[in-house]
Amino acid sequence: MEAIVAQRVHSLVNNIEQVVFGKHEVVQLCVVGLLARGHILIEDVPGIGKTTIAHGIARSLDCKFCRIQFTSDMLPSDILGVSILNHKTNEFEFRHGPIFANIVLADEVNRTPPKTQSALLEAMSEYQVSVDGRPHPIPQPFMVLATQNPIEYEGTYTLPESQLDRFILRVEMGYPPGQDEIRIMRRRDPQQALQELMPVLTADDLLELQDRVGQVKVDDSVAQYILDIVQGTRDHDQIRLGASPRGSLALYEACQARALVEGRDYVTPNDVKMMAVPVLGHRILVKSRGADLSMAARERQRVVLDVIKAIKVPV
């Protein structure tokens, strides 16, 4: 059974890398978030491949995929759906919005007003949406992949802390290595490669892998190490607001998912070190804020690394 799990994870990573070149660690992080039943915020400059990796994940899974292009005039009903009166039955019928998919790409999520951004909150945390006082469950598996540009402020709305806390990981793409950028240049348009990408996992396969994540063993000393790091973000003199208990739970589950991606059934302290920054970096508020989102993110990452260095690693 372990061989089957490893083969499925390996095939998923390899399939995504057919369209995303030179970003093995980024692809692995996205798979970690997927297996941990989390949502991912992909933040980087335009043209890096944020949308391509989201499409690659969706095409690799035999699931329903929807893309939502966020704009300044978008309403919550454009995401959630709307109740419409059926004149034949004289009853209201709910028309599902694009949020009712397995993989949802929220492209440029910070370009829509806070009222519309908050429409995602219930879906991301409770896997349902409430319209006209009635709950509507979202099909499983469910994942939101949101993208935003960290350096452009005009026409954007900063994501509130409550929204950021719903993302299990914040991922930066970064520029590709030289040889891989040549491959990107020669390919020119990734759309054809995306269209040719075939699914390697079904929805049931993914749900089974997500269940296996919860079976990955976490030693008491490693669990305490996770807690010490989270509590360290609350006590650091440069942090105005530390990570919440949701942050400690997210780090715990992300470490379990990373162990599974690495082919292990147990979590190591190194898993915690590797996942602490992408899981906790966007959940804290530092006292000195950068001029833009990119500089602020680097400052938060630096502080989290300081916290990690100050915590004794369990043997």
Specify which residues 145 forms β-bridges with.
Answer: 40, 105
Which pLDDT value is given to residue 10? Answer: 93
Count up the domains in the chain and report the number: 2
Asked if residue 22 belongs to a domain, the reply is yes
Q: Which of 179, 212, 245 is the last residue of a domain?
A: 212
pLDDT of residue 272 exceeding 80: yes
Same domain, 294 and 178: no
Same domain, 175 and 308: no
For residue 203, give the DSSP letter: H
Q: pLDDT band at residue 293, thresholds of 50, 70 and 90?
A: low
State percent of the chain over pLDDT 70.
Answer: 97
Q: Which of 212, 230, 265 is the last residue of a domain?
A: 212
Query: How crowded is residue 291: how many other Cβ atoms within 10 Å of its Cβ?
Result: 9
Question: Taking residues 76-93, what's their average pLDDT?
Answer: 86
Please state, in angstroms and rounded to a whole number, the distance separating the CA atoms of residues 49 and 27. Answer: 11
Question: Taking residues 269-274, what's their average pLDDT?
Answer: 96
pLDDT of residue 1 exceeding 60: no
Same domain, 16 and 40: yes
pLDDT of residue 115 exceeding 80: yes
Same domain, 69 and 137: yes
Q: Which residue segment(s) compose the domain that 265 sits in?
A: 214-315
pLDDT of residue 92 exceeding 90: no
Same domain, 53 and 141: yes
pLDDT of residue 153 exceeding 80: no
Same domain, 132 and 250: no
Q: pLDDT band at residue 289, thresholds of 50, 70 and 90?
A: low
Exposed/middle/buried for residue 280 (C-beta within 10 Å: 0-12, 13-18, 19+)? buried
Asked if residue 88 belongs to a domain, the reply is no
Same domain, 219 and 157: no
**CATH code for position 161:** 3.40.50.300
Asked if residue 89 belongs to a domain, the reply is no
Same domain, 64 and 169: yes
Asked if residue 80 belongs to a domain, the reply is no
Exposed/middle/buried for residue 145 (C-beta within 10 Å: 0-12, 13-18, 19+)? buried
Question: Taking residues 120-139, what's their average pLDDT?
Answer: 89
Please state, in angstroms and rounded to a whole number, the distance separating the CA atoms of residues 224 and 210. Answer: 23
Please state, in angstroms and rounded to a whole number, the distance separating the CA atoms of residues 184 and 229. Answer: 39
Same domain, 61 and 135: yes
Which pLDDT value is given to residue 35? Answer: 96
**CATH code for position 276:** 1.10.8.80
- Average pLDDT, whole number, for the chain? 90
Asked if residue 276 belongs to a domain, the reply is yes
Residue 260 has phi, psi (to 5 degrees) of -65, -40
Q: Which of 212, 227, 253 is the last residue of a domain?
A: 212
Which pLDDT value is given to residue 309? Answer: 94
Q: pLDDT band at residue 292, thresholds of 50, 70 and 90?
A: low
Asked if residue 82 belongs to a domain, the reply is no
Give yes or no for a contact between 81 and 122, defined as CB atoms under 8 angstroms apart: no
Asked if residue 94 belongs to a domain, the reply is no
Same domain, 113 and 246: no
Same domain, 227 and 205: no
Q: pLDDT band at residue 85, thresholds of 50, 70 and 90?
A: confident
Asked if residue 55 belongs to a domain, the reply is yes
Same domain, 182 and 115: yes
pLDDT of residue 130 exceeding 80: yes
Question: Taking residues 43-56, what's their average pLDDT?
Answer: 87
For residues 196-225, one letter each, b for 16 or more C-beta atoms within 10 angstroms of the residue's C-beta and e for the rest, the string is: ebeebbebebbeebbebbeebebeeebbeb
Q: pLDDT band at residue 260, thresholds of 50, 70 and 90?
A: very high
Please state, in angstroms and rounded to a whole number, the distance separating the CA atoms of residues 102 and 51. Answer: 16
Ranking 129-143, 145-159, 221-235, 270-284 by mean pLDDT, the lowest is 145-159
